[in-house]
Amino acid sequence: MKNSDFKTINVTERAEAQEKNANPFLETVKGFGFTFKRFLDHVTGAEDHLISYPEEKRPYSNRFRGTHILTVREDGSIKCVACYMCATACPADCISIDAAEHPDKSIEKYAKRFDIDMLRCVFCGFCVDACPEEAIIMSREHEICEYTRDTTIYGIDRLMNRPQAVDMGPGYRPNYPMIESKLPFTPAHPDPDKAGKPVNTTPKKK
């Protein structure tokens, strides 16, 4: 096929023509009609888009970029080797790492301190992409409201053990499923994408 066979479209002219031929009254009626249809669907129960938040939460994609998770090895030790690649790739400069020698001679070093300032984080996922060890991934947790500035800085303990991450499950990560690391917890809903309904996070009564 030659280049001359392709049709050239001037999007500006097309938009101006559509605007010129549009009937404001008809478009307004169409808009009200759509709104009224959604209203009837909700009243009759044909479609119900409401959930009982916070007892129920929407099932987010397994590529959702929520708060971070530090993964572990088979023995439960932190997977991070303190290479500083995530901190270097971070455009918000919100990751702080202190390295220490690992007792296992086959591992050069590990992260003695790993902090993420969630107020500065832009949730871009660059740290996940840069990590060569799959030591950091993102979760589907999006609720990070706090009362003090200090509690918005997540350390190793909080990055590895968080009830919200357990409920929502893992999010953006390079491997689906993870093949090099393990989560330090068992997700309550490992794949809410397949559920098709809001996830109920209300604790069961014993």
Q: 15-42: per-residue pLDDT in tens? A: 888 787 778 888 899 999 999 998 888 8
Which amino acid makes up residue 69? I
For the segment 182-199, what is each residue's pLDDT rounded down to a tens digit? 999 888 765 655 545 666
Kindly report which listed range (59-63, 109-113, 162-166) carries the lowest average pLDDT score. Answer: 162-166
Binned at pLDDT 50, 70 and 90, residue 150 comes out as very high
**Secondary element (H or E) of residue 196:** none
Distance CA 101, CA 178 (A): 26
Q: Is 70 exceeded by the pLDDT of residue 6?
A: no
Write down the pLDDT at residue 71. 95
Distance CA 70, CA 88 (A): 17
Write down the pLDDT at residue 195. 47
Binned at pLDDT 50, 70 and 90, residue 69 comes out as very high
For the segment 75-134, what is each residue's pLDDT rounded down to a tens digit? 889 999 999 999 999 999 999 999 999 888 888 899 999 999 999 999 999 999 999 999
Write down the pLDDT at residue 154. 95
**Strand, coil or helix: what is 165?**
helix
Distance CA 97, CA 139 (A): 20
Most confident listed range (115-124, 139-148, 158-167): 115-124
Write down the pLDDT at residue 104. 83
154 CB-near residues (< 8 Å, 6+ apart):
67, 68, 115, 116, 118
The whole model's pTM is what?
Answer: 0.72
Write down the pLDDT at residue 137. 95
